[in-house]
């Protein structure tokens, strides 16, 4: 170590546009190496898991090690199908946004396993406090595509009545909490929800998702601290997709070795998981859910992945990162990896995969046609104007009625 | 109906581009995903994929055209089963007439008039309800405000097991101001929960529990410390019912002392009345005496909306008569005329009500008969009672402990000038704290805060006396 280091330090990403990205120095634990302890061990005993990387699918696309959830081929095909649908849905929504048919969109390209595998590992009765890149949760829980689209174009069938940005879904029947535009509020709120469930004697688990950038918010630390204090049945997912819009993950991570490691200081079980490995996400979520359900408390789970597309339709990532970074990401693509695994098992083939893509594309096309029959962003019909004054309070208020009548609607 | 294909954007900032090449011609069938054209900007090239399927009916922009605006129609597709007759009367780029069937209000407006006078009286008849009748022969017990608040919580916790209280020092220590005295002993640690020192954190936990169907009472040691929790209070508690399209609401009470205590300095002495009363989706209550504190806190706990309940440290220890009724619940949104008078209306809330009543007594010695309106609820504000009072007295003085700019008095003056302008014999006057952070030293603090003498001076001014 040099005797004189600069005392002023602002971390910078390893590669900027024009650089040749190279991840060969990423020292990631190999699939199958991480041990799977009993879910009720002390939080601090997960130290190696917080610093390592839980993986199941190896470079030959074989399922290896103790974290393999040993899913049936049917379950894996279902997961693959949800991921393919999520990707095709995203792709279509982006194109529609580019043509001006919706104002804004956010894709989850490359992160499909994180939401789809979690939804499948949890029970449908478990509560979800997501962020804005987990549309796979909705798809895996069977939300109607037409309803998702109607929300995104704010038409007459939008269940949020034109009050929320596209992608900020809320779906009460699906136990999917309304997505907050404020970063991180969902972590302490998930603790409150989970404590409520525990107080009522239910065995529900509450899962929440934030991104690597949001770990810098006070709510991340408040949530972990409070869950630690009250041993709340919560799963805190930190989706480390390397980029918070243009800020690379090091800006939020600081000198911590991993995001998962931040959970150790609070005494919480802390895991770092290959987020592009469907089986690893499934296995780890199952472990954390079992821990929470049996009274072991919260788990912090860092999902290590790469945001393969722009942050949102308002973002142009070519301005701040090399274009090829995503293509050479060492953990590959979650759909491709699960597909190759199934092919290796003799449970899938290219032809069936193509047929699946064709079927899902047709489904999305058909759904969008139906969604537009309930109105388009520009020509309506949209949510009725008078509904603007509803739901401010739980019961109607004469003052709001008066404002509505003053407007003549 | 024919489908328009629009010029896509390559990036969020792109405004126009060149249509470099058509890969299809009129009459071609295309399906979703087919590359139908190539577009260019000075930075990049992109393929345009068909989003819909159909037959190309028209190419609206010629190959090589520069400066094509993003989202301008570039081609028209005919849907399956359509022929060119579908193009008759169809002009690209013009919106079809909006279908307004979904836009018909379920309840026809009474009148589409914007006239202020119409709007005024018609709807003020909708009353928030009245205080419950206190049967003759009811006994009263002298109770401190502190104990009245405690009794309200205890009664509601007995009545509804989803009600619980959480906050710093609320359990073992019985509350920093002893408002939660003996609740731990009666209800146990499951429903009286000590929290770590993070207002932002435990407000978030409370909000989450309320989303989940419980009825939390979140105590802030003072509202000064709740400033860091305001994101959960406003952005989550107040707005979620609306943002979720009515699916998920937040029945929660945030309570604790608000405003100045005695010589605790600028950071521990702020009045947040106007801040919270500004926010749609919140109800804001600021009672004065013990009976109101009890009746309104019980109502707040039962309310399905988030309620900010502003107490005052300097009246916790004051005693007032509370009726010995089994279930004394008061309506939220209803002011109370504390003293009837005919010469001037003084509005006040919380501790200022006591000052207004003292001022009224002294003014009576000078022959001025003041009416004192205790606002009790700041949102929704009982404008009916205020306006009717001013219509009788023709003069208005507002009194509040906080800063005056954009304050509670400013709102009341605006409502009164809009709805009772012709009744006013003088411009309304506002009494409030001086426009400085509250100083610590006793003499400076006293000069900064509004009191009885300030109210008297303002009343004399609007009565053109002295």
**Looking at residue B381, which CATH number applies to its domain?**
3.40.50.920
Q: Nearest CA of chain A to the CA of B25: how many Å?
A: 21
Q: In the listed set B291, B323, B355, which residue is the last one of a domain according to the structure?
A: B323
Contacts of B14 in chain A (CB under 8 A): none
Mean pLDDT of B184-190: 97
Q: How far apart are CA A389 and CA A133, in angstroms?
A: 30
Whether B236 and A394 lie within 8 Å, measured CB to CB: no
Is residue A63's pLDDT more than 70?
Answer: yes
Which of A171, A298, A393, A409 best probes binding to B when mutated, by most B CB atoms within 10 angstroms? Answer: A393
Residue A305 near residue A275, CB atoms below 8 Å: yes
Confidence of residue A409 (pLDDT cuts 50, 70, 90): confident
Residue A207 near residue A190, CB atoms below 8 Å: yes
Q: Nearest CA of chain B to the CA of A279: how many Å?
A: 31
Q: For chains A and B, what is the number of CB pairs under 8 angstroms?
A: 218
Q: What is the DSSP letter of B360?
A: H
Residue B179 falls inside a structural domain: yes
Taking only the tens place, the pLDDT of each residue in B33-47 is 788 998 888 777 888
User: Could you tell me if B2 lies within 8 Å of chain A, comparing CB atoms?
Assistant: no
User: Could you tell me if B283 lies within 8 Å of chain A, comparing CB atoms?
Assistant: yes
Residue B130 falls inside a structural domain: no
Do the strands A234-240 and A299-304 form a parallel or antiparallel pair, or are they unpaired?
Answer: parallel
Q: How far apart are CA A116 and CA A140, in angstroms?
A: 6
Residue B115 falls inside a structural domain: no
Confidence of residue B390 (pLDDT cuts 50, 70, 90): very high
Residues B179 and B305 in one domain: yes
Residue B329 falls inside a structural domain: no
Q: In the listed set B293, B323, B353, which residue is the last one of a domain according to the structure?
A: B323
Residues B155 and B272 in one domain: yes
Backbone angles phi, psi at B56, to 5 degrees: -65, 120
Residues B206 and B284 in one domain: yes
Whether B243 and A160 lie within 8 Å, measured CB to CB: yes
Give the closest of B111, B123, B207 to A398, CB-based. B123
Residues B147 and B285 in one domain: yes
Contacts of A143 in chain B (CB under 8 A): none
Is residue B307's pLDDT more than 80?
Answer: yes
Contacts of B5 in chain A (CB under 8 A): 99
> What angle do helix axes A334-344 and A278-293 make, rounded to 10 degrees?
100
Taking only the tens place, the pLDDT of each residue in A238-264 is 999 999 999 999 999 999 999 999 999
Q: How far apart are CA A405 and CA B111, in angstroms?
A: 7
| B9 → chain A, closest CA residue | A98
Residue A40 near residue A294, CB atoms below 8 Å: yes
Residues B187 and B55 in one domain: no
User: Could you tell me if B120 lies within 8 Å of chain A, comparing CB atoms?
Assistant: no
Taking only the tens place, the pLDDT of each residue in B425-464 is 999 999 999 999 999 999 999 999 999 999 999 999 999 9
Is residue A225's pLDDT more than 50?
Answer: yes
Taking only the tens place, the pLDDT of each residue in B51-104 is 878 899 999 999 999 999 988 999 998 987 777 777 776 665 554 444 444 444
B19 vs B52, B59, B159, B385, CA distance in Å? 19, 11, 71, 66
Residue B341 falls inside a structural domain: yes
pTM of the model: 0.88
Is residue A69's pLDDT more than 70?
Answer: yes
Helix residue ranges per DSSP H, B115-191:
116-124, 145-159, 183-187
- Average pLDDT over all residues of chain A: 96
Q: How far apart are CA B334 and CA B130, in angstroms?
A: 7
Dihedral, CA of residue A371, residue A372, residue A373 and residue A376, to nearest 10 = 130
Residues B273 and B163 in one domain: yes
Closest CA to A161 of B108, B245, B332, B427: B245
Residues B317 and B348 in one domain: no
Confidence of residue B13 (pLDDT cuts 50, 70, 90): confident
Taking only the tens place, the pLDDT of each residue in B248-300 is 999 999 999 999 998 999 999 999 999 999 999 999 999 999 999 999 999 99
Contacts of B248 in chain A (CB under 8 A): 170, 172, 177-178
Residue B378 falls inside a structural domain: yes
Q: Nearest CA of chain B to the CA of A250: how many Å?
A: 25
Which of A154, A188, A311, A378 best probes binding to B when mutated, by most B CB atoms within 10 angstroms? Answer: A188
Peptide bond into A167 cis (omega under 30): no
Is B432 a catalytic site residue? no
| A164 → chain B, closest CA residue | B243
Taking only the tens place, the pLDDT of each residue in A91-119 is 999 999 999 999 999 999 999 999 999 99
Active-site pick, B4, B168, B199, B371: B199
Closest CA to B189 of A42, A195, A297: A195
Residues B176 and B275 in one domain: yes
Contacts of A163 in chain B (CB under 8 A): 242-243, 245
Residues B182 and B66 in one domain: no
- The 3-state DSSP composition of chain A as helix, strand, coil percent (nearest 5) reads 40, 10, 50
Contacts of A313 in chain B (CB under 8 A): 12
Give the CATH number of the domain where residue B247 resides.
3.40.50.970
SS (H, E, C) B49-85: ECCCCEEEEEECCCCCEEEEECCCEEEEEECCCCCHH
Whether A189 and B98 lie within 8 Å, measured CB to CB: no
pLDDT at B110: 40
Residues B354 and B313 in one domain: no
User: Could you tell me if B198 lies within 8 Å of chain A, comparing CB atoms?
Assistant: yes
Residues B73 and B209 in one domain: no
Whether A390 and B71 lie within 8 Å, measured CB to CB: no
Residue B374 falls inside a structural domain: yes
Mean pLDDT of A67-92: 98
Residues 6 or more apart in contact with residue B275 via CB below 8 angstroms: B230
Lowest average pLDDT, out of A84-88, B4-8, B446-450, goes to B4-8
Residues 6 or more apart in contact with residue A6 via CB below 8 angstroms: none
Q: In the listed set B39, B65, B84, which residue is the last one of a domain according to the structure?
A: B84
Q: How far apart are CA B228 and CA B71, in angstroms?
A: 44
How many domains in chain B?
3
For a pLDDT cut of 70, what percent of chain A falls above it? 99
Confidence of residue B120 (pLDDT cuts 50, 70, 90): very low
Q: 3-class DSSP state for residue A230? A: helix
Whether A384 and B71 lie within 8 Å, measured CB to CB: no
Contacts of A378 in chain B (CB under 8 A): 95
Confidence of residue B109 (pLDDT cuts 50, 70, 90): very low
Confidence of residue A183 (pLDDT cuts 50, 70, 90): very high
Residue B105 falls inside a structural domain: no
Taking only the tens place, the pLDDT of each residue in A306-324 is 999 999 999 999 999 999 9
pLDDT at B338: 98
Is residue A35's pLDDT more than 70?
Answer: yes
Mean pLDDT of B400-429: 98
Mean pLDDT of B372-398: 98
Whether B198 and A222 lie within 8 Å, measured CB to CB: yes
Residue B283 near residue B305, CB atoms below 8 Å: yes
User: Could you tell me if B437 lies within 8 Å of chain A, comparing CB atoms?
Assistant: no
Q: Nearest CA of chain B to the CA of A8: how many Å?
A: 29
Would residue A277 be called left, alpha or beta, if left means φ above 0 and alpha means ψ between -120 and 50 degrees? beta
pLDDT at B91: 64
Residue A142 near residue B215, CB atoms below 8 Å: no
Q: Nearest CA of chain B to the CA of A287: how many Å?
A: 24
Confidence of residue A274 (pLDDT cuts 50, 70, 90): very high
Residues B156 and B231 in one domain: yes
Is B199 a catalytic site residue? yes
Angle among Cα B398, B404, B406 to the nearest 5 degrees reads 105
Q: Nearest CA of chain A to the CA of B400: how many Å?
A: 23
pLDDT at A312: 95
Taking only the tens place, the pLDDT of each residue in B352-370 is 999 999 999 999 999 999 9
Whether B106 and A386 lie within 8 Å, measured CB to CB: yes
User: Could you tell me if B235 lies within 8 Å of chain A, comparing CB atoms?
Assistant: yes
Can you give the residue range of the structural domain that contains B258? Answer: 140-323
Give the CATH number of the domain where residue B66 resides.
2.40.50.100
Closest CA to A67 of A287, A227, A217, A315: A287
Backbone angles phi, psi at B193, to 5 degrees: -115, 120
First-to-final CA distance of chain A: 72
Name residue, tokens 């929470």.
Answer: A292
Whether B200 and A218 lie within 8 Å, measured CB to CB: yes
Taking only the tens place, the pLDDT of each residue in A117-175 is 999 999 999 999 999 999 999 999 999 999 999 999 999 999 999 999 999 999 999 99
Taking only the tens place, the pLDDT of each residue in A340-378 is 999 999 999 999 999 999 999 999 999 999 999 999 999
Dihedral, CA of residue B219, residue B222, residue B227 and residue B229, to nearest 10 = -20
């Amino acid at each position: 170590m040099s005797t004189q280091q600069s005392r002023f330090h602002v971390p910078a990403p390893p590669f900027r546009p024009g650089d040749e990205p190279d991840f060969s120095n990423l020292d990631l634990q190999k699939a199958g190496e991480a041990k799977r302890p009993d879910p009720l061990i002390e939080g601090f005993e997960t130290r190696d898991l917080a610093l390592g990387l839980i993986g199941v699918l190896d470079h030959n696309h074989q399922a290896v090690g103790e974290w393999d959830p040993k899913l049936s081929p049917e379950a894996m095909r279902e997961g693959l199908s949800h991921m393919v649908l999520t990707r095709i849905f995203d792709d279509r929504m982006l194109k529609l946004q580019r043509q001006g048919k919706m104002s804004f969109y956010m894709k989850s390209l490359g992160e499909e396993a994180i939401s789809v595998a979690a939804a499948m590992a949890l029970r449908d009765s478990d509560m979800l406090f997501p962020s804005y890149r987990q549309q796979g949760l909705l798809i895996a829980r069977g939300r109607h595509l037409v309803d998702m689209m109607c929300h995104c174009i704010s038409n007459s069938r939008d269940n949020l009545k034109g009050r929320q940005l596209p992608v900020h879904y809320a779906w009460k029947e699906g136990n999917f909490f309304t997505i907050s535009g404020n970063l991180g509020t969902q972590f302490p709120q998930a603790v409150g929800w989970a404590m409520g469930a525990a107080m009522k004697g239910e065995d529900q688990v509450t899962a929440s998702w934030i991104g690597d950038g949001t770990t810098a918010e006070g709510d991340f630390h408040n949530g972990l601290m409070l869950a630690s204090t009250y041993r709340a049945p919560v799963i805190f997912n930190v989706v480390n997709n390397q980029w918070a819009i243009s800020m690379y993950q090091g800006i939020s991570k600081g000198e911590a070795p991993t995001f998962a490691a931040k959970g150790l200081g609070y005494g919480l079980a802390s895991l770092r998981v290959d987020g592009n490995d469907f089986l690893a996400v499934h296995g780890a979520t199952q472990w954390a859910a079992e821990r929470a359900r049996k009274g072991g408390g919260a788990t912090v789970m860092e999902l290590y992945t790469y945001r393969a597309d722009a942050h949102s339709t308002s973002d142009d990532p070519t301005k701040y990162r090399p274009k090829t970074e995503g293509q050479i990401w060492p953990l590959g693509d979650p759909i491709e990896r699960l597909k190759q695994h199934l092919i290796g098992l003799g449970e899938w083939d290219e032809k069936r995969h193509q047929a699946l893509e064709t079927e899902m594309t047709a489904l999305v096309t058909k759904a969008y046609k139906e969604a537009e029959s309930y109105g388009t962003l520009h020509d309506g019909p949209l949510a009725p104007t008078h509904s603007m004054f509803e739901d401010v309070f739980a019961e109607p208020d004469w003052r709001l009625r008066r404002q509505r009548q003053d407007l003549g609607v | 109906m024919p489908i328009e294909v629009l010029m896509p954007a390559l990036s969020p900032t792109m405004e126009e581009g060149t249509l470099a090449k058509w890969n299809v011609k009129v009459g071609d069938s295309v399906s979703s995903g087919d590359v139908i054209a190539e577009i260019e900007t000075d930075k990049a090239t992109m393929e345009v994929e068909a989003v819909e399927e159909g037959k190309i009916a028209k190419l609206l922009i010629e190959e090589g055209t520069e400066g094509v605006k993003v989202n301008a129609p570039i081609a028209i597709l005919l849907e399956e089963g359509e022929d060119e007759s579908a193009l008759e009367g169809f002009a690209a780029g013009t919106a079809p007439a909006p279908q307004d069937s979904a836009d018909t209000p379920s309840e026809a407006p009474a009148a589409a008039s914007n006239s202020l006078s119409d709007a005024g009286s018609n709807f003020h008849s909708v009353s928030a309800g009245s205080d419950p009748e206190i049967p003759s022969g009811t006994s009263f017990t002298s109770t401190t405000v502190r104990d009245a608040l405690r009794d309200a919580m205890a009664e509601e916790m007995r009545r509804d097991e989803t009600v619980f209280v959480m906050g710093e020092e609320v359990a073992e220590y019985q509350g920093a101001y002893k408002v939660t005295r003996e609740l731990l002993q009666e209800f146990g640690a499951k429903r009286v929960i000590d929290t770590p020192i993070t207002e932002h954190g435990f407000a978030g936990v409370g909000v989450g529990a309320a989303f989940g169907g419980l009825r939390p009472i979140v105590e802030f040691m003072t509202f000064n410390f709740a400033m860091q929790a305001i994101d959960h209070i406003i952005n989550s508690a107040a707005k979620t019912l609306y943002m979720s399209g009515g699916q998920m609401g937040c029945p929660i009470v945030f309570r604790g002392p608000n405003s100045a205590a005695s010589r605790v300095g600028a950071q521990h002495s702020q009045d947040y009345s106007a801040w919270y009363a500004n926010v749609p989706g919140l109800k804001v209550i600021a009672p004065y005496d013990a009976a109101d504190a009890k009746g309104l806190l019980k109502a707040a706990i039962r309310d399905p909306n988030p309620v900010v309940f502003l107490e005052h440290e300097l009246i916790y220890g004051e005693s007032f008569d509370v009726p010995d009724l089994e279930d004394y619940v008061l309506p939220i949104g209803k002011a109370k005329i504390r003293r009837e008078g005919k010469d001037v209306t003084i509005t006040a809330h919380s501790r200022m009500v006591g000052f207004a009543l003292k001022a009224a007594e002294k003014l009576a010695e000078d022959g001025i008969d003041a009416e004192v309106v205790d606002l009790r609820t700041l949102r929704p504000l009982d404008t009916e009672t205020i306006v009717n009072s001013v219509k009788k007295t023709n003069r208005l003085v507002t009194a509040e402990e906080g800063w005056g700019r954009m304050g509670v008095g400013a709102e009341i003056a605006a409502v009164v000038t809009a709805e009772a302008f012709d009744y006013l014999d003088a411009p309304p006057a506002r009494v409030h704290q001086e426009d400085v952070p509250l100083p610590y030293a006793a003499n400076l603090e006293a000069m900064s805060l509004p009191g009885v003498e300030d109210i008297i001076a303002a009343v004399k001014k609007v009565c053109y006396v002295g």
